[in-house]
Amino acid sequence: MAARVLLQQCLSARLQVKEVEEGAAAEWVQIQRGTLIYVCFFKGATIDIIPKMVNTLLNVKLCENNEGNYVSMLDLPANVIIIPQATLGGKLKGRSMQYHYNIGKEEGKELYEYFVAVCEKEFASNAKCAEAGVVVRHGTYGIRQVLQMDTNGPYTHLIAF
């Protein structure tokens, strides 16, 4: 496995992207109705898998439209927050989680940032999404992902790549 992605649907969500620092408040991004994409890369993952991952994720039919049918993120169209979530790579060992299969931090950061860039590009180049003013936001790699979300059912799905 090169990557693991968790998808949760939301009515709105808010994610901290900069922690409180002396003299500066925390910074947040937020979206209305859409999808949270939590992503974790494993050792051996390379940049080649990113376009395929993004294509799969943006086209799988997991978003409920106003008629109660499930359509893709591009078709809804869904707003998106991409969340780096290395903990998804954890493997239970006794009473603790180990992360031996996770990619290294520097490589993981590169892949994450490329993943974000490809997502942004795909949404921006889709006419329906551009017209609807779809928002693509993302968390900051390596910091705590302080998250609030409001759902009409998270409808949680896992996809392995």
**Residues at the contact surface with a second copy, assessed by CB under 8 A:** 4, 6, 38, 56, 59-62, 72, 85, 87-88, 90, 92, 95-97, 144-159
d(CA 147, CA 140): 12
Segment holding 50, helix H or strand E: helix 49-59
Closer to a second copy by CB, 71 or 132: give it. Answer: 71
Closer to a second copy by CB, 4 or 137: give it. Answer: 4
Closer to a second copy by CB, 74 or 119: give it. Answer: 74
Closer to a second copy by CB, 46 or 55: give it. Answer: 55
d(CA 52, CA 45): 13
d(CA 76, CA 3): 25
Closest approach, Cβ 155 to a second copy, in A, equals 5
Tell me the three state secondary structure of residue 122.
helix
Closest approach, Cβ 57 to a second copy, in A, equals 10
Residue 51: cis peptide before it, omega within 30 degrees of 0: no
The answer to whether the Cα torsion of 99, 101, 104, 110 is positive or negative is negative
* Partners of residue 14 on adjacent β-strands: 30, 148
Tokens 């003299």 locate to 23
Closest approach, Cβ 95 to a second copy, in A, equals 5
Closest approach, Cβ 53 to a second copy, in A, equals 11
Closest approach, Cβ 113 to a second copy, in A, equals 20
Closer to a second copy by CB, 117 or 128: give it. Answer: 128
